[in-house]
A and B are shown apart, each in its own frame.
Chain A
Amino acid sequence: EVQLVESGGGLVQPGGSLRLSCAASGFIFSNHAMTWVRQAPGKGLEWVSSITGSAAGTYYADSVKGRFTISRDDSKNTLYLQMNSLRGEDTAVYYCARGRDVSRVDWFDPWGQGALVTVSS
């Protein structure tokens, strides 16, 4: 069974940092691009960042560019999102999701259960 499990969420002060992890199982992790999508409380979905296989390419939404860094460790089947200079508007549930293949994102399937990040003093 394909499974994605996020961890690392929590409460952080404005300006602080947090690193999310997404552990993958049930498929060949290195053969797929991966993505982070977030959802603010009561709001819609927002694409945050994607990374292709072997980390050949990394892509970011303008809202997080320069503050967030996506990475992957294919030996550990794990995706990461390093979040720095956090703001209140970064408060959201963060989901990781699998892409089409090694070089193409295209769509998101499946999704993890999500990790809640709350930025507040």
Chain B
Amino acid sequence: QSALTQPASVSGSPGQSITISCTGTSSDVGGYNLVSWYQQYPGRAPQLMIYDDSQRPSGVSSRFSGSKSGSTASLTISGLQAEDEADYYCCSYAGSYIWLFGGGTKLAVL
């Protein structure tokens, strides 16, 4: 099983919207409604931002949203804020009790 594919970096200005993609296959991202997204600040533990492709946990800002089309999932952050600058990871169930992470995307708020 290979890791899911994410862009290494994305950037945006405050107030803008950005989208981070996460590409897998029909055996993982496209095969289950079990994509989750995590935010990680340097030196800190990851935090769940989106689960079940598009569900947002309580306490997570509504500026964060998730979607999926075929074997590509996406995380969109609207109204970009300086505090959103972090690393973002997608994760998907891949069948046979295996979970795959993406390589991570570093978000820069310019």
Which residues of A come within 8 Å of B, CB atoms? 35, 37, 44-47, 50, 57, 59, 61-62, 95, 105-114
Contacts and interface: CB of A to CB of B under 8 A. Distances in A.
Contacts of B101: 37, 44-47
A120 B31 CA distance: 40
Classify chain B: how many residues form its interface, as a range. Answer: 20 to 34
Q: Which of B36, B38, B46, B99 is packed against the most chain A CB atoms within 10 Å?
A: B99
B103 A113 contact: no
Interface of B: 1, 3, 34, 36, 38, 40, 45-48, 51-52, 57, 89, 91, 93, 97-104
B99 A109 contact: no
Contacts, number: 63
19 contacts: A37-B101, A44-B3, A44-B89, A44-B102, A44-B103, A44-B104, A45-B46, A45-B101, A45-B104, A47-B101, A59-B97, A95-B45, A95-B46, A105-B97, A107-B34, A107-B52, A107-B91, A108-B36, A111-B45
